[in-house]
Structures are given as structure tokens and as C-alpha cells.
Amino acid sequence: MMPFFSDLLLGAEVRTWLTVILPITFVTYWGLWIVYARTLHPLAKIPGPFWPSISRSWLMYRALVGDLEIHQRDLHDKYGPVVRVAPDEVVCDDPREIPLVYPTTKPLEKTVWYDAWRPAGMGARPDMFTNRSEKDHAAYQRILGGVYSLGNVLKSEARLDESTELFFERIDEFADRNEVFDFGFWLEMYCYDNIGIIFFGKQFGFLKDRIDYGGYIRAVHQALPFLHVVATAPGYIRPLLMGVAITIPKLLKAVLAVDGIKKTAERETYEAQARTEEDTAKRFDMTSALLGIMREKGGKNKFGPREVVSENWVAIITGSDSTSIGLRSIFYFLMKNPEKLDKARAEVDAAFADGTLTNPVRYHQAIQLPYLAAVIIESFRLFSPFAAPLQRYSPKQGIMLAGTYIPGGWRIGLNPAVVSHHKEVFGEDAVSFRPERWLDRTPDQIKLMHKSVMHFGVGTRTCTGQNIAMAEINKIVPELLRRYEFRMSHDGEWKTQNAAFNFQTGITCYFKKRQLA
């Protein structure tokens, strides 16, 4: 017995476990797993590189670096329209397969990827984006009805005009000093204040105080890349990653600031709930509309104050970012293509001259300009605000994608930022900014292109806030083209960070006032 206890005291058995048994077990497990993943797995015959076929860590790394869509395009160039990007996940780049993956009848179930994006403690049911149940999502849509309709958005049009005038005052300050400024950042502040107007009837204070109100923008730009990694990770690793986050000061600060956005949504919701019906009638906003639905239908549909808070929280984050990403793309591509900029400005000037556009620009006026519409859709096509595969589980009977059979129960999806570069649909110049493609093709070709641009989602899961984004964009773009001449302050490219939402930085500009007739 003495030698045994002596060995324990010396840790001989522990050393044996650590230096021999565990390494052998680890190597054996991974060796067997690699053989299975590459030869016997139901997705083993799907083409793709080695690393992604054995581990989701490739996707996690691409999410961490922020260049997923770039590498996914490269994979399709090398392996074809259907590629295995993880042991359990397949992506397709052919837009003609969109109706199969995102049908409007019997839609496929969303995957666990969406769970990571749901904020904790926000309501009994998930919000519209993270809700994986098609049945529950359909019921949710019936409850909300036309809350996010264009008509409701345009009830705030006059207040949006006030926000736009304040935005112009801030730009004038830079123009008067001939000072370079971060135009992309100011566009984002403008969009955040507009969300405040549309949902709460008032600006947050970004433009008024010339600051990142509450640190919202910084927080979102720091938190979303991490959440993208978490969403991409296997489920068993997610709790560990969230635990690690609280030990990193930068991430912890971002998480706390995002929680501040949640508290703002709560405060504004409960303040709106306390308003009288007379006050609400004087000042329409989305929160009042949501609370009205809560009072009329909420009890039997589990739609209470927490669900209203959840809708508002999602609107503040996603509504501001998707719109500002779109606006940055529009002006970046115009500045990088001066002949397109001149053409768009000439159309706007002519429209003001003949009375098609007035000051301030009305939404219903702006959508009459064909080249402006082409510029907007082409910018969304070339740079989608959302740049991750819209994941679904393949149906139990399996599915045929671009000639490749995918068995049932595996993750499949199309990435909006990849599909919209498909040369067979958009032309050999698909990587170029050419708004004319939306004007000079046949009606059938244009129809197919429109169906192939997925920046606002597709099928039963289109973005509820797309009317908000398009109203803002159509109103502000012609106004900026009319009032200012602008150029980049450098000859370099922008920098992008794909955190599912594909952020851009580096759009620093000089602005000069134009002489208006």
C-alpha cells in the first residue's frame, strides 16, 4: 500500500493521465472524427475546404476577423454553387434557389444561429428576427398587422424633415470651415435620431449635442462582432464565450452600454404607456401604435409591455444600423464613381427645376426618379447591410440545391452579400457599381434581379423595418445631392467589419455648399 500512496503523493497517476492517456484519447477522437466527417458524414460529399468540414472554428474565425462574405465568395469561385462551410452547414450562392430555401408556403425552420441574438429578459416571446417558430412568427405578424406600414412611417415625415434640417446645419458647420469629417459616423447619428422620432416621437440627441448619445454606436460596433462569433459557435461553447466576455473590459463595457439601450427602450415604452389618449393622438409614434395593439389584442396573444420593449430595442439597434450602412454605401459608391454622381445629381437638379421635387423632399416625390432608384438598389446589391447566411434547417425529405442533394436536418442558407454578386443573374460586371443595369435590361431580367437582392430578407421573414429605411433614404439622398458637392478626403478604400451587419468605416469627406437657384 505504501508505494501506491507514495505514487499518489508524487502524482504519478495524474502525470500518466495528463501526459499519456489524455493526449492519446484526444488524438484518437479527432482522428476518428476527421475520418467520419470527411468520408461517412451525410454532408461528406459536399465540396469545400478541409478545415470547415471538420470544425465550425473556421466560421468562428471568419466572424472574428469580419470578412465572412469575402471568403465565402472565394469558396464559391473555387468549389461551385454549393459549398460545405462547417461540418453541419452548407451554403449556396445561386439566387435562383431562393424560393426553395425561403418558400412563402411551408417555410423552413430557422436554426439555432438566431438564438444568440435574442436579448435576455425582454419578453415572453422572441422578437420577429430571433423567433425560430414559423407558427409563432405568423401569429406575431397577425398581431402587429400594419404597424410598420409605409403609411404609419410617413406620419412622422414632418418631424423627420426637422431632423434632416438639423443634420444639414451640422454639415454646414464642417463645410464653412472646409474641414474634413467622418461623414459615415454622422450618417449613423442621423439615423439613430430618426429612429427616436419614428418610435418615440423625439430625437435622442445625437445631432443636437454632437455626440454618440449614451455611447450607443460605439457599444453596438463592439458588441455585434462578438455576438456574431457566439452565434457561429457550437451551442456547447456559447456559455463559455459569454463567460469570457465579462472578463474583457472592452467587451464588458460594450455589453453594459447595449444594456443601456435596453433601458432606454424600457423608459420610453413606459413613458408612452403613461400618456393620455389625447396626448397620443397629438403625437403619433410607433410605440403608441404598439401599445394600442397591446391594449386591444395583447392579453390573448401574450403581447404585453415587455414585448413592446423588445420591439423598440430591436428597432433602435437594427433600424439605425441597416439604414446607415445603406446610406454609407450609396455615397461611397457615388464618390468612387464621379460620372454616376454627376448623373444622379443632374436628375435631382432637373426634378427640382420642374417641380417634381420640392423642399423638403417628400418620399412620394423621390421615388419617381428612376436613376435615383437605380442608384439605391445597386448600392444595396453591391454591399448588403446584412452579410451572413440566412440559415434554415433543410426539410426532413432533403432538398436539391443547384443540382446537389442535401439530406434533411442540416443547416443551409444563402448569404445576401454573396448572392447579389452572381454573374449569371447580374452580369459579368456584377462586382462593379453600375446603376444602369436596373434600367437597360429586359423586364424579365430586371424582375429576376429584384428577386435576387436579399438585403431586407426574403420569404416570410422580410425585414419589418424596410419601410422606415427606404423612407429615410429616399428623402435624404436627393437633398444631399442638391445642397452639397462632396468628395472623399483620401484615395483609399473604406474598411468593413462583417458582424452579420456589415459596418463600414473610413468615409471621411470634404463638403462644399452648392449655390441653389
The secondary structure of 339-382, three-state, reads HHHHHHHHHHHHHHHCCCCCCCCCHHHHCCCHHHHHHHHHHHHH
Number of domains in the chain: 2
Q: What would the grid cell of residue 347 be?
A: 436628375
**Residue appearing with cell numbers 420577429:** 128
**Residue appearing with cell numbers 435624404:** 476
Other CB atoms within a 10 A radius of the CB of residue 185 amount to: 17
Q: CB-hemisphere CA count at 13 Å for 325?
A: 29
Q: Quick check: is 123 in a domain?
A: yes
At 319-348, the pLDDT tens digits run 899 999 999 999 999 999 999 999 999 999
Per DSSP, 362 falls in state P
Please list the residues that pair with 390 across neighbouring strands: none
Q: Quick check: is 479 in a domain?
A: yes
Task: State in Å, rounded, how far the first CA of the chain is from the last one.
Answer: 102
At 116-141, the pLDDT tens digits run 888 776 666 788 888 898 888 888 88
Q: Which amino acid is at 12?
A: A
Q: Quick check: is 406 in a domain?
A: no
List CB contacts of 128: < 8 A, sequence separation 6 or more: 137, 140, 141, 144, 311, 314, 464
Query: What's the Cα-to-Cα distance from 315 to each of 193, 261, 312, 395, rounded to whole Å?
Result: 12, 11, 5, 31
At 31-79, the pLDDT tens digits run 899 999 999 999 999 999 999 999 999 999 999 999 999 999 999 999 9
* pLDDT over 50 (residue 309): yes
Q: Produce one character per residue of 258-267: b if its CB has 16 or more CB atoms within 10 Å, e if not.
A: beebbebbbe
Please list the residues that pair with 182 across neighbouring strands: 508
Q: Quick check: is 307 in a domain?
A: yes
Distance CA 158, CA 471 (A): 12
At 151-201, the pLDDT tens digits run 999 999 999 999 999 999 999 999 999 999 999 999 999 999 999 999 999
3-state secondary structure (DSSP) of residue 334:
helix
- Contact at 8 Å (CB) between 509 and 335? yes
Q: Pick from 391, 373, 375: which is nearest to 383 by CA? A: 375
Distance CA 389, CA 91 (A): 7
Whether 7 and 148 map to the same domain: the answer is: no
Distance CA 337, CA 486 (A): 12
Instruction: State the CATH number of the domain containing residue 368.
Output: 1.10.630.10
Percent of the chain with pLDDT over 70: 93
pLDDT of residue 317: 86
Whether 212 and 300 map to the same domain: the answer is: yes
Q: Quick check: is 212 in a domain?
A: yes
* pLDDT over 50 (residue 9): no
Q: Quick check: is 223 in a domain?
A: yes
Q: Which residue range forms the structural domain that includes residue 7?
A: 1-40
* pLDDT over 60 (residue 285): yes
Whether 308 and 189 map to the same domain: the answer is: yes
